[in-house]
Structure 1
Amino acid sequence: MTAVRLELRRVYGAYPTGVTVVAGLAGGRPVGIAASSFVPVSLDPPLVSVCVAHTSTTWPSLRGLPRIGISVLGAHQEEVGRRLGARGGDRFAGVDWRATVDGCVLIEGAAAWFECTIEQQVRSGDHDIVVFRVRDLDARPEVAPLVFHASGFRRLSQA
């Protein structure tokens, strides 16, 4: 990795983000990725977005699905974030999840979840910006979110 990329990573890491799991059923099995680039985009229509690296080997299995679930991980789900962010292996081994009738995969115990369809995908740099239309959603305000900051998982502390 070049010095410029390392510096970009360090400085980008100064901005904390939530951790999400983007997942669906492909061939009857859960397929998903962890993403810390989740952003609410619009209220009308209801849109959210996630950035996906061009190098992702999982995204090609997800992008053709009719519905995709996005789960905002809770502070107690650091291990889920690590597992879904790993390359290879059975990412869903030991992870509590459920599938909707439309094929969204949602992580049990998450702080929030969204059932989505892909609205558009925009190629940008070394990632694609994927805009999703929200079809259903819910949140558990009592569950604090998991945060990614300075290349590590963090929990929000009460002041």
Structure 2
Amino acid sequence: MSGTYRGETRTGMAVRSFSSVSLDPPLICFCPAHTSSTRPKIRAAGVDRFAEVGWTPGAFGAPGG
């Protein structure tokens, strides 16, 4: 369970899948459902940190060579 607020707006989320990716830098991974009412708020608040990273799609569309 996680929660936050901005001004008077409170947002919370319970996730079933949560994993530590790295301690240095501290990174986590969680997987919200596409049907989550919190998911659009997460997307709206996020920054695309990979926007300037060059990649090409592999055979099945995933990043690859």
Q: What is the TM-score of this pair, normalised by structure 1?
A: 0.26
Aligned residues: 50
**Could you say what the CA RMSD is over the residues aligned between the two structures, in angstroms?**
2.9
Aligned ranges 1:9-158 → 2 under 5 Å: 21-26=1-6, 28-65=8-45
Q: Which of the two has greater helix per residue?
A: 1
Alignment match, 1:77? none
Instruction: Pick closer, same or farther for the CA change 1:24–1:47 going to 2, 3 Å.
Output: same
The aligned amino acid for 1:24 is T
- Structure 2 unmatched ranges of 5 or more: 51-65
Which protein, 1 or 2, shows the higher relative CO under an 8 Å CA cutoff with sep ≥ 6? 1
Structure 2: distance between partners of 1:28 and 1:43: 32
Instruction: Pick closer, same or farther for the CA change 1:25–1:64 going to 2, 3 Å.
Output: farther
Q: Is the 8 A contact 1:24 1:31 kept in 2?
A: yes
Q: What is the TM-score of this pair, normalised by structure 2?
A: 0.54
Structure 1: distance between partners of 2:10 and 2:21: 26
Q: Which of the two has greater strand per residue?
A: 1
